[in-house]
Amino acid sequence: MRLKNSYFFTLRENVKDEDSVSSNMLVRAGMIKKSSSGCYMMLPLGWRILQKIEAIIRDEMEKADSQELLMPALIPEDVYIASGRRDGFGASMFSLKDRKGQPYVLGPTHEELFAIAAKMQIRSYKDMPFSLYQLQTKFRD
């Protein structure tokens, strides 16, 4: 890939609306672009680096005999109510209702779903140990 023909740029000056040093450096390096408060676009260079990091993590997790899975981003609100953590997240948790009126939330974490997945597998102590993991961000997958 020729740099001349690629979508790549750097900035010399600090970005005014960036709060953290790390995000400011990522913007200046041409890896991300802020689209709104807390929301970023992964630019081609940042996207490529993220994919390489994920490949390293997947390789190491496979060496440890762990199995990857993918949890949904939208989770029935009942899962968090049953665990007692819905109130802890409060109004800051993004929620919506589907066309049937069922409440869903944007899962801030997936511990509850991992517990449900483990419960499906474990019938006796002989079913353990096993290892599951996921790589997920809120902007894709």
Where are the domains positioned within the chain? 1-53, 65-141
Q: What string of pLDDT tens digits covers the 141 residues of the chain? A: 666 777 777 888 888 888 788 888 898 998 988 888 878 899 999 999 999 999 999 999 999 999 999 999 899 999 999 999 999 988 888 999 999 999 999 988 899 999 999 999 999 999 999 999 999 876 554
* Residue 9: predicted pLDDT: 77
Distance between CA atoms of 8 and 43, rounded to whole angstroms? Answer: 8
Distance between CA atoms of 39 and 27, rounded to whole angstroms? Answer: 12
